[in-house]
Amino acid sequence: MQQLTTPLLPLLDADSVKDSALLGALSRVAPVLVPQDLVSALPANIAYLVLAAPALSYDAAADLFDAGAEAIVTADTQLIQQFDAAVAATRFIYLSASGAPPAPETLNAVAGAVITLPTASAIAGAAQLVQATADGLQAKTSGKSLFVLAPSGVPSVDDVKALAKLSASLIAPSSVLSLADEGQQQQGKLDIADAFLAPLTSDRTDGLFATTVVSAAGSASLGLVYSSPLSIRKSILTGSAHYQSRNRGLWHKGESSGATQQVVSIRQDCDSDALQFVVRQSRGTSASGFCHLENRESCFSSATGLAKLEATLKQRQQSAPAGSYTARLFSDASLLGAKLREEAAELADASNADKQHVAFEAADLLYFALTKCVSAGIGLEEIEASLDAKAKKVSRRKGDAKPAFAEQQKAAEAKAKTAPAPTPAAQQPKDADAPIKIQSYRYEELSASQRKELLKRPALRTEQVMEICRPILGAVKQRGDAALLELTEKFDRAKLQTPVRLPPFVNDEVMAKIKPEVKVAIDIAYDNIWKFHKAQKTTFGNKRAADVGAAGTVEANEAPEDGVLEVETMPGVVCRRFARPIQSVGLYVPGGSAVLPSTALMLGVPAQVARCPTVVIATPPRPDGSISPEVLYCASKVNASAILCAGGAQAVAAMAYGTETCPKVDKIVGPGNQFVTAAKMLVQNETDAIVSIDMPAGPSEVLVIADSSADPAFVASDLLSQAEHGPDSQVVLVGIALTATELQAIEDEVDRQARALPRVEVVRQAIDKSVTVIVPDRATALEWSNAYAPEHLILQTASPEELVKLVTNAGSVFVGAWSPESCGDYMSGTNHSLPTAAYAKSYSGVNVGTFEKCITSQALTKQGLRGFGQNVIDLAMCEGLQAHAMAVKIRLDRMA
């Protein structure tokens, strides 16, 4: 039962049930009490309690609850005992007419009590009885409701006030109630507004009451205002919200703008010194809602979550461009129905172990479900009302799924999902014993549209993920470390005292946890990565930094051997390009249950070579709050400035905006899941964040080009090394004129090796979405690969170096049979943080340049300026920029 913070509970009779004006006013300030025989006459959407008839049966009581009764008032303790204790304690009000406080065991078992007095005049003398019953209910602290019913006579406002001081409310017959404008109250009646105002108190000198205004849809707070007795009376009487402006007096909200508010309910808080107005907000002509600012529903902030989604959908229903996706959803019931079924199935299939995936799929389903509701003319308010109605039911049903859906679920659990079109000639069953086999196609048999379809990656639902990330980013931006710690506890289950660790990161205890062979591997990897990336610095230009311009170098910016490009474009005109480190960078290293020291090296070493002064490594902590010792060792080797013990969008936010303990960075680099990627994309577009990113990221991918010279076992191992990353990993085999026998040999190896892997089920899911394309020749193989633009390209062919010359789009290339992708991931020296999702067409992988800016300079002598000075003047005058021309002319004149 709802907490009844109302001083008055009206008892309806046959006449008042028909009085819509009176019912409307009453329902704004309280639920109503209705005799059992009048329940059917009540209009919809009225909150009510039922005064039970004698000898009410269990089934009849259950029917009343199921129909929507908040509570049943009855003197029948045997009826109460027939119900579950939880139902009794929240839905039954005990009716006492004995003149003595009910027994403690009775009061403990129910949600409240009603004391019946003979007449209203008896209220003043019943204080002791009321107090004893209130004490038995522990009404001041338990929230249980206590009512006093006086069936005859007219109670006074003083009676209401006296009962409120005893933690009790008055039940008054509707026949003795009235409602009128200020100064027009009826004699011999209890005015509803006066009764409601009776217990209210204010500690303000102006006597106003703080009032929070809440939307009926989603319960979002719209703003804080003040109310007076007059404004409250007007709101109850008219049903349109009135407040008391501290400057302008009585304020009819929206009277001039049209942004009026329909009052759903007015409630007092538990201390009767503040109010809550629940309203339906109308949109005005000059303002979108409660706030005077345009496109702001709330004075506190823009709407978020479901409330924002509902507002957006309602707006797009009216204004979405013809042919847009949203317009199609609203106009095509079949499309919307199909998307609902699709998203419901994806949520059902999502693993509980991946909480973010479950949240992501649930968000998708909610989006399409709310689209369905908006298209039907209903919104969150109606949905919540339906949920509340369901919550009031006490009858329980078995709850089994409908047979058709139960069978579908059984089938889904027994079989893997079927592959997308184009469908291979022989569709393989996806049960546990079925071969783990990549679907194969022949290039010549594919139409142009089918080839285009096979080149596509699964669509990334960036907009939906961004909607999830926005409130996370906002929380960290506004509340810093406090929000960061809360989110880390929520998502990573780690309760930390501080989110940042400072050097030193390793000690004897940490090093003792690292296997000796792993330390050796890390050291070798570090050396190789350093060599390759240091070479990028020394070959950056045609001159040594120490030999360019003024003698020597500034250690913080460059080493003497670093390269600088210097070109004399004309006599006396020397142009240079030189690199400078980005001053503060953030490196995202996926972590938590995973141990990924290689990523810490791949990001940290180039930043170290570039001489970035501040390097923050962000990595999710384990549930106990620790960071893997291997990552700590790598952080120490690359001289990281700090470790941010956080992951996901919250880590990106901390680095982008800075917190009390986490430095703000100028660039964020590193791979992550869809939430990390979405957060990176969001912050780079915030003008006040002023932060850049390395590249967008998607699931890991590999494309292997193999001909008849390739070893089937090698090819299979390279394909599987990517497939084990996750079910969305992209695995592509391009076979150059492979025969059926040669292809079968590779497929057999894929099946055999996959079954020996501990992550075989993950591999199976990735392989189910993967493809083999048999092409006629090497040129077509490279044409396909360049169109696909893979993260990793492996060439297992004869003369592979010749094919490298033809590569235009790839993150990194692995040349020949003895160059497995794993070596690039860990040890060769090239970087493994590479563009995915076809971004290799426009992005490079991480390199030293990722952590630098290229600055150019030009130094002109008098000879150089004389050489083209007049040409500069001519172009400047052509463009109408006379000051540009004058800057040159004044110098030429000085030389004359």
Query: Across the strands, what pairs with 854?
Result: 579
Rg (CA), the chain: 37
Closest CA relative to residue 467, chosen from 616, 667, 637, 674: 674
Going 763 to 767 to 772 to 778, the CA torsion angle's sign is: negative
Cβ burial 675-713 (10 Å sphere, 16+ → b, else e):
bbbbbbbbbbeeeebebbbbbbbbbbbbbbbbbeebebe
Collect all residues with Cβ–Cβ distance below 8 Å to 255 and sequence separation of at least 6: none
Strands 92-96 and 71-74: parallel
Phi, psi (deg, nearest 5) at residue 521: -65, -40
Cβ pair 32, 41 in contact under 8 A: no
Q: What letter would DSSP give residue 167?
A: T
Backbone angles phi, psi at 580, to 5 degrees: -135, 140
DSSP β-ladder status, 242-245 and 249-252: antiparallel
φ, ψ of residue 33 to 5 degrees: the values are -105, 125
Helix axes 333-349, 403-414, angle to 10 degrees: 50
> Of residues 533, 792, 821, 852, which has the active-site annotation?
792
For residue 686, give the 3-state DSSP assignment. coil
How far are the Cα atoms of 170, 196, 252, 650, 669 from residue 266, in angstroms, in the given order? 17, 10, 16, 38, 51
CA of residue 611 relative to chain centroid, distance? 36
| Residue 791 among the catalytic residues | yes
Of the candidates 791, 821, 832, 852, the residue annotated as catalytic is 791
- Residue for token pair 């070493």: 605
Q: Using alpha carbons, select from 233, 194, 226, 231 the residue that is nearest to residue 211.
A: 226
Are the C-beta atoms of 679 and 472 separated by less than 8 Å? yes
Quote the tokens at residue 541: 């230009």
Please name which of 675, 705, 680, 833 lies closest in space to residue 779, comparing C-alpha atoms: 705
Q: Which residues have a Cβ under 8 Å from the Cβ of 742 and sit 6 or more positions away? A: 708, 712, 735
SS3 of the chain: helix, strand, coil, percent, to 5? 45, 20, 40
Q: Are 605 and 530 spatial neighbours (Cβ–Cβ below 8 Å)?
A: yes
Measured N-to-C along each axis, helices 648-657 and 481-492 cross at an angle, to the nearest 10 degrees, of 160
Please answer whether residues 587 and 616 qualify as being in contact, where contact means their C-beta atoms are separated by less than 8 angstroms: yes
Q: If you search the block for the tokens 């002598």, which residue do you land on?
A: 861
Strands 209-215 and 190-191: unpaired
Contact by Cβ (8 Å): 150, 120:
yes
**Segments in 4-146 forming alpha helices (H):** 14-17, 20-29, 58-67, 77-82, 85-91, 104-108, 127-137, 139-142
Q: Which positions are catalytic?
A: 791-792
